[in-house]
Amino acid sequence: MLTLCELHIATQTKIDCRVWLRRNRLLPVNMTCPWCNSVMEECQYSRVSDGVIWRCPAKQCRVTVSVWKGSLFENPLPLTKLCELLRWWRHSSRHCRHSIWVFGGVELGMDQFFMVLVLHRDANTLMPLIQCHIHPGTRIRSDEWAAYARLNQVGYIHKTSTIPSTTWIW
């Protein structure tokens, strides 16, 4: 069984991630052009977030297709499903050398989020991540974890709420 540690190591770059996904049959290894049935080529393409696309080499065609076409990643994974997946990996990784935590944030109403694997949940670890991923002046709502205590002092509007543990995803 794959642990979260092993997954993190195997998918550190976009290229590593695509190689791992293909090796595990989660991403197509090749693609046929939907218009002319030619075998497509994977090419660099800076206008997409992944930096690569499938492109038909036929000069009369030149159709492009996402590298995610035909995979379970073709349609965006809802945040709730992604969180469930991470929770499952977290619980299946108990034999990993270190405890690994998933720290992240969600921009409500914008479908944007970030997640980072961390070994520690203290202020020295989390504050730099918050400052890297969240603009100063942003309203942050969190639980009452001590690592967040200085958020108001470093330029954020910090509100806490006590939420029953049964409503947390992890």
> What is the domain range of residue 143?
79-167
In a domain, 56, yes or no: yes
Count other C-beta atoms under 10 Å from residue 102's C-beta. Answer: 16
d(CA 34, CA 32): 6
Assess if residue 48 is contained within a domain.
yes
**Number of folded domains that form the chain:** 2
Say if residue 85 is in the same domain as residue 134. yes
Helix (H) or strand (E) holding 21: helix 14-23
Model pLDDT for residues 30-51, shown as the tens digit of each residue: 999 999 999 999 999 988 877 8
18, part of any domain? yes
Q: Is residue 45 part of a domain?
A: yes
The reply to whether 59 and 84 lie within a common domain is: no
- At 106-157, the pLDDT tens digits run 777 666 777 777 888 899 999 999 999 899 999 888 888 899 999 999 999 9
**Nearest residue to 127 (alpha-carbon basis) of 147, 156, 145:** 147
CA count, 13 A, side-chain hemisphere, 22: 13
Q: Are 45 and 10 members of one domain?
A: yes
* Contacts with 149 (C-beta within 8 Å, 6 or more apart), sequence order: 123
